[in-house]
Amino acid sequence: MILLVGQITLLSINSIRNQEPILGLRLENQTISKLYGNNSEQVRALILAYETKNFTVKTADKTHVANLRQLGVKTDIEQLKMRLLSVGRSKNELSILTDQDLALIGRRTVFIGQPNFNNGLAKAYVATLDASVDIAPIDALFAYENQKTVIHPDHLGRVIDVNAAVETLHHVNPTLNTQVILPIKHPLATITASLLTPLLSQVQAIAQKPLTIEAGSGKTTLSSEQLVNLVVPKVVPDIKDAHKMVAQVSFDEAKLNAIVDGVVKQVVVAPTPTIMNGRQVIQQGKSGLQVEDTHTLEHVLTALIQRQTGVATPDVAQIPLVAVNPPVVQQFVASPQTHTGTGLIRLTFDDGPGAHTEQVLDILSKYNVHATFYAIGRNVQRYPATMQRIVREGHQIGNHSFSHTDLANLSRVGVVQELVSTQQAIQAACGVTPTAFRPPYGSLNQTVREVASSMGMSTDLWSVDPRDWAQPGSSVITQRVLGADRAGAVVILHVLYQQTVDALPAIIEGIRAQGYSLV
């Protein structure tokens, strides 16, 4: 009977206090008897203490200190008051009695929680932690150690799982949680040791002995270690199973180009002109020496691929040279003859992207000139950022085959493979599908024309060739362009040589000085 009277009395008192919390109710383990007046300040103080109470955030081997204010938590005091008033009043009678009894003996507590948690601020906070925790995965690679080719294993990366971390922080109660551990992910390396293992024998064959690169009397010898360092594994879908990835051997063509250029520069000599006055020889000229074709790198790559595939094990990669007869210059001619007139001239660049393409783009941007870049598919895969810049700066892109082979010597299937794979590489790199095609070496037959046409591409050649690939000197390249251009001319240049870069400003200025326009 006494218990019943007590319960009725407690219900009555709490009913009269309907604008105050039930007797004994606690907020964050402190008794709250009133919500207004001085006790309202008590609630505000408890909220402030709760939101600014520090707790430890652990991420991998790092420890940080945080509070809820940093995560954007800001409690609405009026909503909290409504929650306090609802305790012991808003459920069925048994629940009301239970809540009021527990509150009276100090066992009913309301926790502030995080009703206004800010996901955006929490993500920003996690991002600042991520910068100190993040470790990029390390790809496996080939190395030459102790006279043999080995594979350095890949290593997992480390990064905070941002979404899971934000969810963890969302449920932090600093009154109860003194330490929070944020979840970590371990990204896989792109190139793993298991992917490289099938290639080990190929790389061992490439590096089994040094390779000498020769151009006439110029030479350099690449050690086994240097050869291994030139190998760049490339991960591609398996042709038998598109869902499976496999690795292929490729080579760092930028490094190889620099090595080949160094060999060629040892021996390439510009011819000295024979100076004439009428029919009288004033000074006898001397022959020069230059590389035979535009693709000096191909000779080295061929030797490396022969070793890789076991076709042969060449010791030397020979770059052929040809003599250049001295030009004849009449003494009274002050400067090379150039054309003048009006009309449009187009600049085109073959064989990129490559080591010097960015310099070419810098010069074109400076002079506000647009050009067409006929790109090689395998180079596109090496320089996707350069391809994106070409598009971004308003230049046109053409298809120049995937491997710069003589397409006229291929079957129809071979031509299709060369052009399609290049279209795909360019689309993947910069989102453009070329509608123009330039055959390597200008080599054409009916099959090549038909395949290009069936793919919606025009076949583009050129009318002015300064033979910059032979590296005759930047001034000679400039003179050859300015001495041959005329309205409607299409100038072919290459992005693989510094001499072309050096000649380009004078070519642009010279064309404009003659009265012609550039795109």
- Which residue out of 350, 351, 460, 485 is catalytically annotated? 350
Which has more confidence, 78 or 399?
399
Is residue 235 scored above 50 in pLDDT? yes
- Per the CB < 8 A criterion, the answer to whether 93 and 118 are in contact is no
Same domain, 453 and 306: no
Domain boundary among 300, 330, 360: 330
Determine the average pLDDT of the residues in 198-219: 94
Predicted pLDDT at 335: 43
Determine the average pLDDT of the residues in 70-80: 80
Is residue 333 scored above 50 in pLDDT? no
- Per the CB < 8 A criterion, the answer to whether 373 and 516 are in contact is no
Q: Which of 219-228, 329-338, 394-403, 488-497 has the lowest mean pLDDT?
A: 329-338
- Check if 494 is active-site: yes
Instruction: Determine the Cα–Cα distance for residues 271 and 179; give it in Å rounded to an integer.
Output: 78
Q: Which of 169-178, 319-328, 386-395 is the most confident on average? A: 386-395
Same domain, 499 and 467: yes
Secondary structure class of 387 (helix, strand, coil):
helix
Phi, psi of 304, rounded to the nearest 5 degrees: -65, -40
Query: 448-483 burial string, b = 16+ CB within 10 Å, else e?
Result: beebbeebebeebebebbbebbbbbbbebbbbbbbe
Determine the average pLDDT of the residues in 314-329: 83
Instruction: Determine the Cα–Cα distance for residues 72 and 114; give it in Å rounded to an integer.
Output: 10
Domain-located, residue 251: yes
Q: Could you tell me the pLDDT band of residue 153, with boundaries at 50, 70 and 90? A: very high
The total domain count for the chain is 4
Domain-located, residue 364: yes
Domain-located, residue 264: yes
Determine the average pLDDT of the residues in 138-148: 93
CATH of residue 236's domain is 3.10.20.800
Instruction: Determine the Cα–Cα distance for residues 317 and 322; give it in Å rounded to an integer.
Output: 16
Predicted pLDDT at 334: 37
Which has more confidence, 277 or 333?
277
Same domain, 306 and 406: no
- Check if 465 is active-site: no
Predicted pLDDT at 171: 84
Same domain, 359 and 498: yes
Secondary structure class of 181 (helix, strand, coil):
strand
Q: Which of 7-21, 48-62, 114-128, 443-457 is the most confident on average? A: 443-457
Q: Which of 195-204, 230-239, 353-362 has the lowest mean pLDDT?
A: 230-239
What percent of the chain shows pLDDT beyond 70?
A: 91
Domain boundary among 113, 134, 164: 113
Q: Could you tell me the pLDDT band of residue 291, with boundaries at 50, 70 and 90? A: confident
Domain boundary among 283, 305, 330: 330
Same domain, 153 and 233: no
Domain-located, residue 39: yes
pTM above 0.85, yes or no: no
Same domain, 173 and 200: no
Predicted pLDDT at 155: 94
Q: Could you tell me the pLDDT band of residue 5, with boundaries at 50, 70 and 90? A: low
Same domain, 394 and 505: yes
Cis, peptide link before residue 353, omega less than 30° from 0: yes
Instruction: Determine the Cα–Cα distance for residues 310 and 297; give it in Å rounded to an integer.
Output: 20
Domain-located, residue 391: yes
Same domain, 305 and 388: no
Same domain, 136 and 223: no
Determine the average pLDDT of the residues in 61-76: 84
Q: Could you tell me the pLDDT band of residue 332, with boundaries at 50, 70 and 90? A: very low
Q: Which of 51-55, 256-260, 324-328, 454-458 has the lowest mean pLDDT?
A: 324-328
Domain-located, residue 63: no
Domain-located, residue 125: yes
Instruction: Determine the Cα–Cα distance for residues 235 and 291; give it in Å rounded to an integer.
Output: 34
Same domain, 322 and 435: no
Is residue 483 scored above 70 in pLDDT? yes
Same domain, 316 and 387: no
Task: For residue 311, give Cα distances in angstroms to 51, 98, 155, 303, 314.
Answer: 72, 88, 35, 10, 10
Same domain, 429 and 465: yes
Q: Which domain holds residue 255?
A: 193-330
Predicted pLDDT at 449: 93
Predicted pLDDT at 337: 46
Query: For residues 220, 221, 222 and 224, what is the CA-based torsion angle, rounded to 10 degrees?
Result: -170
CATH of residue 383's domain is 3.20.20.370
Domain-located, residue 335: no
- Which residue out of 299, 356, 400, 494 is catalytically annotated? 494
Please calculate the CA angle 511-512-515 and round it to the nearest 5 degrees. 95
Q: What order of strands is seen across the sheet that includes strand 55-59?
A: 62-66, 55-59, 179-181
Instruction: Determine the Cα–Cα distance for residues 495 and 294; give it in Å rounded to an integer.
Output: 11
Predicted pLDDT at 394: 95
Is residue 275 scored above 70 in pLDDT? no
What percent of the chain shows pLDDT beyond 90?
A: 40
Predicted pLDDT at 329: 59
- Give the CB-side neighbour count of residue 19, counting CA atoms within 13 A: 4
Q: Which residues contact 244 (CB under 8 A, 6 or more apart)?
A: 237, 238
